[in-house]
Chain A
Amino acid sequence: MAYPANFRYTKQHEWVDVKGDIASIGITDYAQQELGDVVFVELPKVGSQITAGKSFGNVESVKAVSEIYAPVSGEVTEANEELHNTPEKINSDPHGSAWLVKVKLSNAAEVSALMDAPAYEAFIASEKGKEASA
């Protein structure tokens, strides 16, 4: 799966898609592969604040609970409640319909600190290299 050029990425494998002052946030294809079949999602409430670098929810596979870390700070304007019924979308469409939340950015400068697609792809290539030699 391709990593959209207009997204920005974190080392915890979240992506951000900024349109104006609203950022959509999700987890990457690499993250969903590592997780396996997603069976459960825990999202923050609309109106709550998320803070860059801090956990704001969970994605669960059969085997494990995985925290999701906020790439940027802001107020949650939308939470993708549909994922409660169809968590498997996170596996099949992690960069599209399986966005997790939308936030109103409180500090747009945080976005520039994130990796672009080529940097993220290089990052996961080195992660895979570490796994293979482990």
Chain B
Amino acid sequence: MESVNSPTTSELRKTPLNGVHRRLAAKMVNFGGWDMPVEYPAGGGLVAEHKAVRGGVGVFDVSHMGDIRVHGQGAGQSTPGAGGGGLGAVQHISMNDASKLAIGQAHYSALLYPQGTFVDDVIVHRLGEDDFLLVINAGTRKKDINWVRENTKDFDCVVDELSDAYTQLAIQGPRAIEVMRKLTDANLDSVKNYWFTHGTLCGLKDTLIARTGYTGEDGFEIYVPSDCATSERVWAQVMEAGREFGIIPCGLGARNTLRLEAKMALYGHEISETINVWEAGLDRYCKMEKGDFIGRAALERAKSDGFKRTLVGLEMIGRGIGRDEYRVCNEAGEAVGVITSGSPSPTLCKNIALAYVPPTLADIGTRVFVEIRANKCEARVVATPFYKRAKKVAAPQAAKMA
């Protein structure tokens, strides 16, 4: 069980739905200074929640995540599509190419330090020509807003810290879209993966509805006003709409096992201020060719220097669960790496992990040994992601929609 030694629960931050989680008798935990539900025993707990998302639909309160809006000052831009101070600022601090985003589109990116290591990972949403919403991690809210303000002050832009303005819910699973159709009249079928729209949801006009998530399943994230009454009303309506699909509330425990199976990074584990983009294997989100950005020069050097470690997937072969921070040894028994995230996989019924190892041990099939207390337990390097959701096969119903 997570320690609740310090700070005391009364010192932890709470989302607007904290009362709901406690009334549901959720098991609560301190996550990055937030009093959050790790699982809901009444609904079956972590494994049941994980399976609900993979097979049906689940809902997560992720209001602890942060939101930063970066937008230009200028009323009109010189060239349509060119963007101005807002785009310039985002391009400077974010490694992915925001100029390639259409309005209504989002992408995964990261804010980097000059050394090419991670301030945080982020989902960048293009709200307008020169208007961007960055959704960031809970534990890095303060650090990120300071970083964004400091590093965009030479751009003609405005930075708004909006984290406390929103209650954010993630509705995830193959049946999430059916739940959403009951809550909004927005045309969800035209919102592809990693795109978003604004529409009336639960009677709330102009609500941001994004087809994003952290589970490896289809799903939506919605951003509603953070006052308690609205937040609780929307939660209740989501639960009611999802009832026929077996929706259950899901906590951070399932959030972690789901994202791990899908090989999605968690800040402080796979990415951090001491790990660079190449080591973390996030090359495809780093657009070196777009022009300069913070960290680019260091990454260029790091590429030619070569790297000492690389992120791989492991599957436990011996009897044992390799967990976060357990050491990884080579055949000679020398500790050469470390697990960043490790857990039983409820979907695969195996024990899996992500780990940093020397590049010489990164080939699929390589045998390594995980130190589990007094023993060395055999594991094998495997391909990732560990789980990938099935692509929808063309069916008569799908043809109707086309």
Contact = CB atoms under 8 A, between A and B. Distances in A.
Interface of A: 33-34, 36-37, 39-40, 42, 58, 60-66, 84, 134
B4 A63 contact: no
Given A40-B321, A134-B9, A62 B41 contact: no
B9 A63 contact: no
Contacts of B253: 36, 62-63
A39 B45 contact: no
A60 B342 CA distance: 13
Contact of A33 (B9, B41, B47, B323): B41
B389 to A, nearest CB: 20
Interface residues of B, number: 21
Contacts of A134: 4, 8-9
Contacts of B373: 42, 58
Contacts of A37: 45-47
Contact of A65 (B46, B47, B257, B323): B323
Contacts of A58: 373
Interface string B256-272: 01000000000000000
A58 B41 CA distance: 21
B39 interface: yes
A34, A36, A66, A134: most-surrounded residue (chain B CB, <10 A): A36
Nearest to A67: B373
A63 B47 contact: no
Nearest to B47: A37
Contacts of B320: 40
A33, A58, A61, A64: most-surrounded residue (chain B CB, <10 A): A61
Contact of A36 (B8, B39, B321): B39
Given A34-B1, A36-B45, A134-B4, A62 B344 contact: yes
Contacts of A42: 373
Contact of B257 (A34, A60, A62): A62
A62 B9 contact: no
A134 to B, nearest CB: 5
Contacts of A33: 41
